[in-house]
Homo-oligomer: A and B are copies of this chain.
């Protein structure tokens, strides 16, 4: 399946950084879902670089839906959405096309595609492609919102600076929606930006940790083997460029806990069951328990840095010193957040549609 995720709702991503279009096909989405143009545009804008801490390559992202939507609603047949690449400067990349950029996929693409890959700007591996993911995710998350399911992501950690944890999920998720640099604490956000700017001034880059909450999910979603809720979500998340770690609930901190600390006490009140703590991140045995799903993703520092690096010409296998030029982000974590939100929407929409049937997301009916 390769570039497709999902069975009940299948999302296929295509395109290259310097190709004519990038885009996505969403197959299996219920008919009757209103396409919310303003919401989609807001999501694309959220991901778009802006300010000093992002690349100077800015795309208008003027998406078009060329199939599967009729009179403003999904038809139930495959939705194809495309975004033109307009701001291409291939000349920047001719040098890089030969000397592999460390931390990038240049060398592995050569191993896999035997030299036929479109190397311009990273080709299919470019962060540019994530605009198509965000587009697909926006279409799906607008349907999830109608079912009461909300997804929000903040930068929980960035090189020494921590953001506060989620407190009131509804409000916190709402507050993140309008932010270009999503932190729950304004001060933390300011501190993080300063760290990024310092790295940028030094020709360097930083990564960080994103924390995502999903609320409103019904209990009972996920499979014991092999399609656990964690399995499916991590499958999607690890395909996002730059993500090197995924943990749920207390995650790696579990290694320092006793069972009596890690187990979440279960409580019933007014006919509802919940847990007092949420160390399991809303998932037990691979299945949602009705608590907020908490997932954290480690984003590596942007590999494109301006400092000289040692590398190899992948055609001649000569050792070289590489100096990357062009336009690059000193941090992508605030933009990766939009991609993480989108991937969560893609995965969750598929799992719900598989669980409750293909009409489930057609909430308008």
Cβ of A21 within 8 Å of any chain B Cβ, yes or no, is yes
- Report B-chain residues with C-beta under 8 Å of the C-beta of A8: 8, 354
Q: List 16 A-B contacts (CB under 8 A).
A: A1-B10, A1-B27, A4-B226, A8-B8, A13-B78, A20-B66, A105-B284, A159-B256, A228-B239, A231-B239, A244-B252, A254-B299, A258-B301, A261-B301, A267-B312, A268-B319
Q: Kindly state the separation between the CA atoms of A236 and B223 in the bound complex, as whole angstroms.
A: 12
B102 & A264 in contact (Cβ 8 Å cutoff): yes
**How extensive is the interface on chain A, given as a class?**
35 or more
A358 & B365 in contact (Cβ 8 Å cutoff): no
Pick from A41-49, A109-117, A138-146, A166-174 the stretch touching chain B. A109-117
Q: Kindly state the separation between the CA atoms of A264 and B301 in the bound complex, as whole angstroms.
A: 12
Chain A 309-329 per-residue mask, 1 if CB under 8 angstroms from chain B, else 0: 111101001110000000000
Closest to A119 in B: B70
Q: Kindly state the separation between the CA atoms of A66 and B23 in the bound complex, as whole angstroms.
A: 9
Q: Please provide the chain A residues from 131 to 183 with a CB less than 8 Å away from any CB of chain B in the complex.
A: 133, 157-160
- Report B-chain residues with C-beta under 8 Å of the C-beta of A251: 244-245, 298
Cβ of A362 within 8 Å of any chain B Cβ, yes or no, is yes
Query: For the complex formed by this chain, how many copies does it contain in all?
Result: 4
Cβ of A194 within 8 Å of any chain B Cβ, yes or no, is no
Chain A 70-97 per-residue mask, 1 if CB under 8 angstroms from chain B, else 0: 1001111111101000000000000000
Chain A 226-265 per-residue mask, 1 if CB under 8 angstroms from chain B, else 0: 1110111011111101011111111111111111111111
B258 & A204 in contact (Cβ 8 Å cutoff): yes
- Report B-chain residues with C-beta under 8 Å of the C-beta of A105: 224, 284-287
Closest to A362 in B: B114
- Report B-chain residues with C-beta under 8 Å of the C-beta of A232: 235
A135 to chain B, nearest CB (A): 14
Cβ of A199 within 8 Å of any chain B Cβ, yes or no, is yes
A15 to chain B, nearest CB (A): 5
B244 & A244 in contact (Cβ 8 Å cutoff): no
- Report B-chain residues with C-beta under 8 Å of the C-beta of A284: 103-105, 107-108
Q: Kindly state the separation between the CA atoms of A136 and B71 in the bound complex, as whole angstroms.
A: 28
Cβ of A341 within 8 Å of any chain B Cβ, yes or no, is no
Q: Kindly state the separation between the CA atoms of A127 and B75 in the bound complex, as whole angstroms.
A: 18
B199 & A258 in contact (Cβ 8 Å cutoff): yes
The contact of A301 among B13, B108, B224, B259, by CB within 8 Å, is B259
Chain A 56-78 per-residue mask, 1 if CB under 8 angstroms from chain B, else 0: 00000000101110100111111
The contact of A285 among B21, B78, B109, by CB within 8 Å, is B109
Chain A 275-289 per-residue mask, 1 if CB under 8 angstroms from chain B, else 0: 110011101111111
Cβ of A129 within 8 Å of any chain B Cβ, yes or no, is yes
Known contacts A32-B116, A254-B207, A266-B312; A260/B228 CB under 8 A: no
Closest to A358 in B: B355
- Report B-chain residues with C-beta under 8 Å of the C-beta of A23: 66-67, 80
- Report B-chain residues with C-beta under 8 Å of the C-beta of A349: none
Q: Kindly state the separation between the CA atoms of A42 and B76 in the bound complex, as whole angstroms.
A: 32
Closest to A242 in B: B254
B262 & A301 in contact (Cβ 8 Å cutoff): yes
- Report B-chain residues with C-beta under 8 Å of the C-beta of A102: 263-266, 275
